[in-house]
Structure 1
Amino acid sequence: MNIGFVGLGIMGSPMAANLIKAGHAVTGYDVSAERVDQLAALGGKGASSVVDAVGGADVVITMLPDSPQVEEVAPLVIEYGRPNLLYIDMSTIKPETSRWVARRAAAEGVRVLDAPVSGGERGAVDGTLSIMVGGAEEDVEAARPVLWALGTTVVHVGPAGAGQTVKAANQLVVGGIYGLVSEAIVLLEASGVDPVAGLDVLAAGLAGSRILELKRHTMVKREFAPGFRIDLHHKDMGIAVAAAREAGVSLPLTGQVAQLVAAARAQGHGSLDHSALLKVIERLNG
């Protein structure tokens, strides 16, 4: 397929690269000209604007930082996309923003899916992302050949906006696990127990998780090179808290995790990986 890709950041660049490897013709745009050049070097085509990336595409994918960027780009995709365009927004944004995009697109004959992802930079590079998709069933089926090039789990979770709600649930769970792993490391070290050995045991038992599998060693070494930045997780926790309010439910642990992530950001760790929650727990303990 001819695919327009807007947003070539930490996640978007490897995703676009995997689409090229799968045989699709990818035209990409990003505010960073360097990232556009990198895509071209991989066999894609660089675009000079959003409109340039959208023109002639069968499918358009956006991978943007937050709702304001999607609200800016989506109208251009809808206006300049070809008839019956399939527009897949893979950003993590507010569910109401996804519903707004879907309503606006439907009025212009554009098919829209919200399809946020989980798996981090490693999953984007390896093409093993978990993709939660909101939208019409027939549009999800049409998108599967594209989505399977990006992930190993593609699940239709409901109508427009449902993908974003599931992503909010994902992020509150991820944040909570990072917080608990951080507390486990602090407890082990303060008790004179080797945290490497301790976490190896935890990872092999019922406490095991993808986070322990991928991050326990770098957390013990205090290596926080960003795969997913605290700044972005702070934004996502805000989405989760807002979604809980909209649904009329109380999520007390989510609220506490949101405050820990906010503390990490306030302490100047926003550009670090979200595993840097460990720094907040350490600071609480002097």
Structure 2
Amino acid sequence: MSKIGFIGLGIMGSPMAGHLVRAGHDVTGFDLSEDSLARLRAAAGNVAGSVAEAVGGAEIIATMLPADPQVEAVVLGENGVLDNAGPGALLIDFSSITPQTSRRVAREGAAKGLRVLDAPVSGGERGAVDAVLSIMVGGSQEDFDAAVPIFETVGKTYRLVGPAGAGQYVKAANQLVVGGTYALVAEAIVLMEAAGVNAAAGLEVLAGGLAAGRILDLKREAMLARDFQPGFRIDLHHKDMGIVLEAARGAEVAIPMGALVAQLIASARAQGHGGLDHSALLKVAENLSGRNS
């Protein structure tokens, strides 16, 4: 069992840290939210008053933070992870950020004697709670092997996909597919309902055919009920689509469908839906057809 410092105990990080505690690891967490710290304490984890306190003496450091600025501040900033982690510690960054920032973290971490993996996840809150996340990892094979006990505790599928930053490219591809799928399911619902079709029965049929997928399995009932309680907020998917577009530009590839999905998600945010689940793309599809729910 390992001594783990866990930074970022939000919608995803909180259940992940809880799973590590229950697996027998010695977990000390830090977050700016007192409610998040209280949840970790209730799960029998330890709470810290600062990043430095959480990281000091940790063999493994896990971060699950919203975006690049938070990762830069927590990991690279003054009195952050790199200033306080011991030589040889393994830093696993579960955040979804740009490949460039992940590469910088890996480079500066190595200069301080740390081992670093970028390990963004997919599966949303439900996947974190059920410990079935899909984890896409960038880094060395040796460091990946060392992290497997952590990955198998919080996830179901975990693969090393390349060197530092590679995990973020795969996560960008994931968000591209997820966003596009939500947009199409939303349009399918609008089409069926406008035509007077039993949309619930229609989606059930779709879920049993070639259109089947996790989004139809997990989200169709909530979408039909217009229940957009956030498992993954529009605001965060909007941030991720910015990463997708930047990654495509860096790789010099054209993603016309991705650009359209990014605009639909931006529209959802502009309409005031940023705090809703990304399945709220249904509201955008309805607005475009003048069929507000």
Could you say whether these structures have the same fold, taking a TM-score greater than 0.5 normalized by the shorter chain as the test?
yes
Measure the CA separation in 2 of the matches of 1:247 and 1:38: 41
TM-score by length of 2: 0.97
Name the counterpart of 2:254: 250
2:148 match: secondary structure: helix
Name the counterpart of 1:232: 236
| Amino acid corresponding to residue 70 of structure 1 in structure 2 | V
Measure the CA separation in 2 of the matches of 1:143 and 1:11: 18
Name the counterpart of 1:57: 58
- Equivalent positions of 1:1-286 (< 5 A) are 1-75=2-76, 76-286=80-290
Measure the CA separation in 2 of the matches of 1:180 and 1:254: 13
1:268 match: secondary structure: helix
Say what the alpha-carbon RMSD is for the aligned residues: 0.5
| Amino acid corresponding to residue 19 of structure 1 in structure 2 | L
Structure 1 segments, 4+ long, off by >6 Å, are none
Once the two structures are superposed, residues 243-278 of structure 1 have per-residue CA deviations (whole angstroms, 9 ceiling, x without a partner) of 000000000000000000000000000000000000
Tell me the percent identity: 64
Query: In the TM superposition, what is the alpha-carbon distance from 1:21 to its structure 2 partner?
Result: 1.1
Measure the CA separation in 1 of the matches of 2:55 and 2:38: 17
| Amino acid corresponding to residue 127 of structure 1 in structure 2 | A
Once the two structures are superposed, residues 150-197 of structure 1 have per-residue CA deviations (whole angstroms, 9 ceiling, x without a partner) of 001010000000000000000000000000000000000011100000
Query: In the TM superposition, what is the alpha-carbon distance from 1:83 to its structure 2 partner?
Result: 1.4
Query: In the TM superposition, what is the alpha-carbon distance from 1:147 to its structure 2 partner?
Result: 1.0
How many residues align? The count is: 286
Query: In the TM superposition, what is the alpha-carbon distance from 1:79 to its structure 2 partner?
Result: 1.6
Measure the CA separation in 2 of the matches of 1:244 and 1:235: 15
1:148 match: secondary structure: helix
Measure the CA separation in 1 of the matches of 2:90 and 2:145: 11
2:156 match: secondary structure: strand
Query: In the TM superposition, what is the alpha-carbon distance from 1:134 to its structure 2 partner?
Result: 0.2
Unaligned runs of 5+ in 2: none
Unaligned runs of 5+ in 1: none
Measure the CA separation in 2 of the matches of 1:38 and 1:283: 38
| Amino acid corresponding to residue 215 of structure 2 in structure 1 | I
